[in-house]
Copies of this chain bind each other. A is one copy, B any other.
Amino acid sequence: MPGIGHKSAQRLAFHVLNMSDAEITEFSEAILNAHKNIHRCSVCCDLTDSELCPVCENDTRDRSVICVVEDPRDVMAIERTREYNGVYHVLHGAISPLNGIGPEDITTKELIARLGNDEVKEVIMATNPTVEGEATAVFLSRLIKPLGIEVSRLAYGVPVGADLEYADEVTLSKAIEGRKRI
């Protein structure tokens, strides 16, 4: 399991062994239920325990903007900003030819299917600022732009509260390149 080394594993194993019968039954059922009940939202592919995820279910969200992310955790990160009011699409990965992950291995088809009606005006590519995330953003934008929908990409730049001195060269040159009039 990620982040669990030899010693942590041992500690957790002994903790499980020390549980009472009732506790251990409840624990194993919780794990089973989580696995059984959590599935992908039928619209945005985010994980949920009901038919639609809370965002897709929410009538006040702006359905004309779709924010495309790699992972359900990215949805949670963007929700924490409390600034975004559109809906999401979770790819469950990024295109990475080196690792054998192609467009058919992520939810490309589901995304394109959502763009069929005229409701969507903009797709924000919020894939990670890495080589794979960038490649995925470019690949998807080439599919989406011919549909007459605006595609945008998260801004690269210096993180708020950082120190220029410690910014890496690529980020710093992106920050200069993307400078804005004030």
Contacts and interface: CB of A to CB of B under 8 A. Distances in A.
A158 B156 contact: yes
A117 to B, nearest CB: 22
A151 B78 contact: no
Interface in A113-170: 124-126, 128-130, 137-138, 141, 150-170
A13 interface: no
Interface of A: 67, 69-71, 73-74, 76-78, 80-84, 124-126, 128-130, 137-138, 141, 150-182
Given A155-B175, A175-B155, A179-B124, A160 B170 contact: yes
Copies of this chain, complex-wide, total 2
The 10 closest A-B pairs by CB, nearest first: A157-B157, A155-B178, A155-B157, A81-B173, A83-B173, A152-B179, A154-B175, A159-B171, A160-B170, A73-B165
Chain B CB count within 10 A is highest, among A67, A154, A180, for A154
Given A129-B162, A159-B159, A80 B179 contact: no
A181 B170 CA distance: 20
Contacts of A84: 173, 176
